[in-house]
A and B are shown apart, each in its own frame.
Chain A
Amino acid sequence: MSETNSIISPENIVYKKSPVLLDNTMHYCPGCSHGTVHKLIAEVIEEMGVQDITIGVAPVGCSVLAYNYIDVDWQEAAHGRAPALATGIKRLLPEKVVFSYQGDGDLAAIGTAETIHACNRGENIVMVFINNGIYGMTGGQMAPTTLPGMKAATCPQGRDVSHDGMPIKISDLLAQLPGTCYVTRQAVHTPANVRKTKKALRKAFENQLANKGTSLVEVVATCNSGWKMNPVQSNEWMEENMFPMYPLGDLKDE
């Protein structure tokens, strides 16, 4: 026992869970990207020392319960309305740090107007956008970002673009708006990508402290339950199919 204690002594610790990430058991499926992104947000909040002044806005979707995992004040929004809530919070408390956390259905379908106009006004907030091309929570229906030919519960024959249109590349669109200062697309399926996403989140939060406008971090993510694949297959499928439509990298950095 004393040997174990000497091994886990503080000077030997090279990695630990951020105290900003709560101990509640996550409800996400094994292999889901949400948990990793939550962890990164918690680490960035901890490292920047902004836990006490941060307010998160949770969406409707799988991450509706995000407030159970990151130890900051939270508001839960109606579906798609997170950017409007974040606008209200930040306008009234400009000295606080405000971020929204939204999925593709939330940000790029039902909340498109709120998303575009918050970005266009250059609201000084961080928007984290999880794009897995499917409605996870409601059982795998077609999302605005579902790939052409990709099967989902409401397009069991595969997305027919002549019927449903092409997937919307909303980050590309938002990067065109003068109100956004930073728009980037990342992923968390490899250790290298996890590190890049953390750097992107850090930059987004720093932009807010520097009053630079809207920062949007898109994370191309897996939904192995919705995609009906195991986590390893999901990562491979994402690289082969999602990345050509949603290439990783900065779309705007001013």
Chain B
Amino acid sequence: MRELKLMKGNEAIAEAAIRCGVDGYFGYPITPQSEVMETLMDRAPWDSTGMVVLQAESEIASINMVYGGAGCGKRVMTSSSSPGISLMQEGLTYLAGAELPCVVVNVVRGGPGLGTIQPAQSDYFQSVKGGGHGDYKLITLAPASVQEMADFVELAFDLAFKYRNPAMILSDGVIGQMMEKVELGEFKPRWTNEYIEKNYPWVTMGKNGRERNIITSVQLEPSVQEAFNHKLQNKYRECEENEVRYEEYMCDDAEYLFVAYGSSARICQKSVEIAREKGIKVGLLRPITLWPFPTKQIAHYADKVKGMLSVEMSAGQMVEDVRLSVCGKVPVDHFGRFGGAVHSPGEVVEALENKLIKA
């Protein structure tokens, strides 16, 4: 039975993980996401579902514990916030290189450096452009509500296993900390070892009579490494073809478009209403997958609107992908407070007027 609860975004991640049958969580405390592990430890799922929860000595250790579990075909995850996610970049590129599915949650805070514990969206580049070394991609989901924090855990695992690739839930301190009503999914059983071995024949669980399996990202021979890279790129193209997700709000008659994700998209929803009261026809396109990015949909609006404003709590990161999608057809600008500051709906409307309408 689905259950209705009032909870924080971070708590919803933990609750959803237990309910959708996640096998393991490995993490290290950092503000503003520590409630994820605190909730898991409090719920003690090892006694109910058998889920393993372990506090590691660092984010480096936790992402590598995830690697070990993922190599066994287990559904394993970690969560952290920006400085901790920076430490995990080595692990993420190895996971991508070894084609291991897992889920990593980033509850973003302002940077650079130790920065602030207040919310930000300044890890967009790190999530969708690489972060670690080599040519790889992370499937990146951007929740805009506590409900989506809960729902995206299972979605992220489904995509990660479908493509044998790490998936990231790119949240922020607003979504992680705020409380909302959330409808929680039913408890689903964890996968059995037999199910995993039957459906994912690449896993390392002991060879048990078959040829041995090797989880690795090393191919010293350049021709082999190049062929492997082609395979990765083909997989990424397939993912771009099939997995783009976005939401449109009042776009039908729009003359201007906000492009915003996560908590900025929530703010922009209000900005759309304020602008329309003033007679400005503006709509909102909210990318749900940041990679793969809704390039085609944004390109479609480039033929319909007079300009686009990428609204992000960063100095301007996603705006680059919006510009690439639009290909110079209409003006694209950026607006956002950053370094832990959050823009108000009114500030966004003002930016639209100043940067695109009056300009």
Contacts and interface: CB of A to CB of B under 8 A. Distances in A.
Q: Do A and B form a real pair?
A: yes
Interface of A: 51-55, 57-58, 64-65, 67, 71-78, 81, 84-89, 91-93, 96-97, 113-114, 116-117
A81 B215 CA distance: 14
B57 A114 contact: yes
B234 interface: no
A72 B206 contact: yes
A110 to B, nearest CB: 10
Contacts of A71: 207, 212
Contact of A78 (B72, B90, B212): B90
A92 B24 contact: yes
B206 A52 contact: yes
Contact of B204 (A52, A65, A73, A117): A73
The 5 closest A-B pairs by CB, nearest first: A88-B68, A84-B64, A76-B216, A85-B68, A88-B65
Contact of A74 (B90, B91, B214): B214
B67 interface: yes
A81 B205 contact: no
B26 interface: yes
A74 B67 CA distance: 12
B106 to A, nearest CB: 19
Interface of B: 23-24, 26, 52, 54, 56-58, 60-62, 64-72, 74, 76, 90-91, 94, 98, 193, 204-209, 212-218
Nearest to B73: A92
B224 to A, nearest CB: 13
Contacts of B193: 93
Nearest to A88: B68
Nearest to A53: B206
A85 B215 CA distance: 11
Given A51-B207, A89-B72, A92-B52, 7 more contacts: A55-B204, A58-B216, A75-B214, A78-B67, A81-B91, A84-B56, A84-B68
Nearest to B52: A91
Contacts of B214: 67, 73-76
A74 B206 CA distance: 9
Dominant SS among interface residues on chain B: mixed
B144 to A, nearest CB: 31
B218 A87 contact: no
A88 B217 contact: no
B288 to A, nearest CB: 30
6 contacts: A54-B206, A73-B207, A74-B204, A74-B212, A75-B214, A78-B64
A46 to B, nearest CB: 13
Given A57-B68, A67-B214, A88 B206 contact: no
Given A73-B207, A73-B213, A92 B76 contact: yes
B302 to A, nearest CB: 42
A67 B218 CA distance: 11
B326 to A, nearest CB: 39
Nearest to A50: B206
A97 B213 CA distance: 15
Contacts of A74: 204, 212-216
B65 A85 contact: yes
B171 to A, nearest CB: 24
A71 B207 CA distance: 9
A65 B24 CA distance: 28
Contact of B76 (A51, A65, A88): A88
Given A67-B214, A75-B71, A78-B90, A55 B205 contact: yes
A23 to B, nearest CB: 14
Contact of B71 (A81, A89, A97): A89
Contacts of B70: 88
Contacts of A113: 57-58, 60-61
B9 to A, nearest CB: 26
A92 B69 contact: yes
A132 to B, nearest CB: 21
B206 A76 contact: no
Contacts of A78: 64, 67, 90-91, 94
